[in-house]
Amino acid sequence: MLRKNLLKLSSFTIVLIICCKLQGQNLENYNKIYNKTYLETSQNDFSKALFIADSLFQTSKTPKFQTKSLMLSATLHQQSGNIKKAVDYAQKAEKIAVDSDDFLWQSKIYGFLSSQYRNLGLYIQSKNYIDKSESIIKKLDSKLYADNMMGFIMQEKAYYEIQFKNYKKALSYIQKSQNYFNSAGNKEIFITANNKQLEGLCYLKLRNFTKALNSYKDAETALEDMPDNFLKGLIFNGTAQVYIETKNLNLAKKYLDKAESISDQSNYINLKNEIYTTSQQYYMATQNIKKLTEVTKKHDSTSQKISDSTTSFINTEYVDLKNKLEEKKSLGKNLIIIFFIVLAVIILIIIGIFYRNHKLVLNNLNNDLREVKKNYSELQNNKKTESNLTKSEKDSEGETEQQSIMTEATEQKLLAKLEKFENSVLFTKNTVSLPYLAAYCGTNTKYLSYIINNFKHKDFNNYINELRINYIIEKIKTESKYQKYKISSLAEEAGFSSQSKFTVAFKKITNMSPSHFLQTLKDREI
């Protein structure tokens, strides 16, 4: 009881401090609380950070401060893996920013939403938001603000290319991003460090370990005086990966411990997932099976949470979209009914006028109508006779239609979508799920399962695994550098969440283990 009262007192104290510091909405005081909450409090006490973010919104007196407070909440929820709440808060902020004609914050919000949909694999929605952000930037009066926002746009485009493993193209966007920030005079160390971290990631994936290490070191130096935060965790994790790849396991452990220390205190679910992946690589390299088993369980659990969150969001979006379409359909029907009622009233009025003024014409019209009715009746009798002759055929045809799950046109459309999916690299995302693919194909999971089972002759998991294995086999055969990769790196490249799952799938499809396959290729070359 005492502890609860102390917690309440602490919360009220926070609100009091915020109210005092924000008297008159002083930007400097606001930013101090905002930055401390985002970079420090959220890493150590996530619930407290959410409480402060909500308090900032409650005490904000202007649309600008309200928008910024809502976006702080959106960012915190995004870090915790709650994409639904992150998007909800961002959309609330968007409404305020649009109503107040705040173009700067509109562009920021659209950039944020672009990131969320990109992480979900909904790339069309992601591109729509990034296009909206660029369009809004053109309305900014200040070139400095416009250049600064373009820096973030280029950064988002770099993330997009990294998602598709286009690391060289991503590096060019990172350079453009930094050029825009420099042009805007933005010297915030966090932004510079973020670009350097992304640069290090790209060089790591390109296996240029010297440049990767230099970039990570520059990022680490930039954040040296800042408290521990998620970006530091990503930098330490990347550095550990470089040392694992270069066989310097002592330094790898040193940086992995630093990353794990930050991750243990943080609620940032994607950071935890990245570090668990690196830990697996380290314990595999040191052959510490006990630790490998422990961290694999943690990694699988975290990956499942991310996958569940993604699936839940996509399912919710699909249901909302379906409801909106049904509402529009219902509205359309109502409008048609109203149209015909109005039309009928107009016709009756016209007939009434003609009836009153031209009885003779109306009588002739009635005679014509009776003749038409007679002809129509004869036509219906003829049709009825024809119908009786072919009734058994039509009944049979009706039964066939009822047995069919979907039309042939729908089947062909879905098969075309699957072919497009197979020709992409989207299946290498380890968060791919049946609901995700159904959303990509513009259908539901029942239809998609039917198509995969009947036309691909396998269930969803085996379908995805076969695509991934065939993809990585083709890479190994056509690009010699892949023959030098570790099995764990091949597994990650193919989209598997663990080396063990990759090995099982590989053996099931090829009847040999990945290491045996690689050795067979080497023997052939000799």
Q: Which pLDDT belongs to residue 430?
A: 83
Q: Each residue of 467-481: pLDDT tens digit?
A: 999 999 999 988 888
- Asked which of 30-44, 63-77, 103-117, 128-142 is least confident by mean pLDDT, the reply is 30-44
Q: Which pLDDT belongs to residue 484?
A: 87
Q: Which pLDDT belongs to residue 313?
A: 74
Within a domain: 518: yes
Half-sphere exposure of 172 (CA within 13 A, CB side): 4
Looking at per-residue pLDDT, the higher value among 58 and 172 belongs to 172
Within a domain: 479: yes
Q: Which pLDDT belongs to residue 40?
A: 80
Q: Each residue of 194-252: pLDDT tens digit?
A: 999 999 999 999 999 999 999 999 999 999 988 888 899 999 999 999 999 999 999 99
Within a domain: 473: yes
Spatial separation of the C-alpha atoms in residues 356 and 358, rounded to whole Å: 6
Q: Each residue of 401-431: pLDDT tens digit?
A: 334 578 888 899 999 999 999 998 899 988 8
- Mean pLDDT over 362-377 rounds to 50
Q: Quick one: pLDDT band at residue 317, thresholds 50, 70, 90?
A: low
Q: Which pLDDT belongs to residue 47?
A: 87
Buried b (16+ CB within 10 A) or exposed e, 224-234: eeeebbbbbbb
Structural domain count, the chain: 1
- Mean pLDDT over 164-188 rounds to 94
Q: Quick one: pLDDT band at residue 257, thresholds 50, 70, 90?
A: very high
Within a domain: 159: no
Q: Which pLDDT belongs to residue 3?
A: 35
Q: Which pLDDT belongs to residue 97?
A: 93
Q: Each residue of 274-312: pLDDT tens digit?
A: 999 999 999 989 989 888 889 888 888 888 888 777 776
Judge contact between 362 and 355, C-beta under 8 A.
Answer: yes
Within a domain: 434: yes
Spatial separation of the C-alpha atoms in residues 277 and 265, rounded to whole Å: 18
What token pair was written down for 67?
């928008």
Q: Which pLDDT belongs to residue 334?
A: 65
Judge contact between 223 and 209, C-beta under 8 A.
Answer: no
Q: Which pLDDT belongs to residue 362?
A: 47
Q: Which pLDDT belongs to residue 18?
A: 41
Question: Distance between terminal CA atoms of the chain?
Answer: 75
Spatial separation of the C-alpha atoms in residues 322 and 329, rounded to whole Å: 10
**Percent of the chain scoring above 90 in pLDDT:** 47
Within a domain: 124: no
Q: Which pLDDT belongs to residue 17?
A: 41
Looking at per-residue pLDDT, the higher value among 515 and 360 belongs to 515
Q: Which pLDDT belongs to residue 328?
A: 52
Spatial separation of the C-alpha atoms in residues 193 and 222, rounded to whole Å: 6
Residue 410 CB contacts under 8 Å (≥ 6 apart), including other chains: 443, 447
Within a domain: 458: yes
From residue 456, how far is each of 108, 413, 439, 465 by CA, in Å?
A: 43, 15, 19, 13
Does residue 397 have a pLDDT over 80?
Answer: no
Work out the mean pLDDT of the chain and round it to a whole number. 82
**Percent of the chain scoring above 70 in pLDDT:** 79
Residue type, 481: K
Domain span holding position 493 = 409-525
Q: Which pLDDT belongs to residue 371?
A: 52
Judge contact between 451 and 411, C-beta under 8 A.
Answer: yes
Does residue 325 have a pLDDT over 50?
Answer: no
Say which CATH number the domain at 510 has: 1.10.10.60
Q: Each residue of 440-464: pLDDT tens digit?
A: 898 999 999 999 999 999 999 999 9
Looking at per-residue pLDDT, the higher value among 285 and 380 belongs to 285
Within a domain: 453: yes
Q: Which pLDDT belongs to residue 41?
A: 84
Locate tokens 């694992």: which residue?
244
Q: Each residue of 136-171: pLDDT tens digit?
A: 999 999 999 999 999 999 999 999 899 888 999 999
Does residue 368 have a pLDDT over 50?
Answer: no
Does residue 20 have a pLDDT over 90?
Answer: no
Q: Which pLDDT belongs to residue 338?
A: 76
Judge contact between 84 and 313, C-beta under 8 A.
Answer: yes
Buried b (16+ CB within 10 A) or exposed e, 33-52: bbeebbbebbbeebebbbbb
Q: Which pLDDT belongs to residue 361?
A: 43
Q: Which pLDDT belongs to residue 366?
A: 54
What token pair was written down for 138?
């053109």
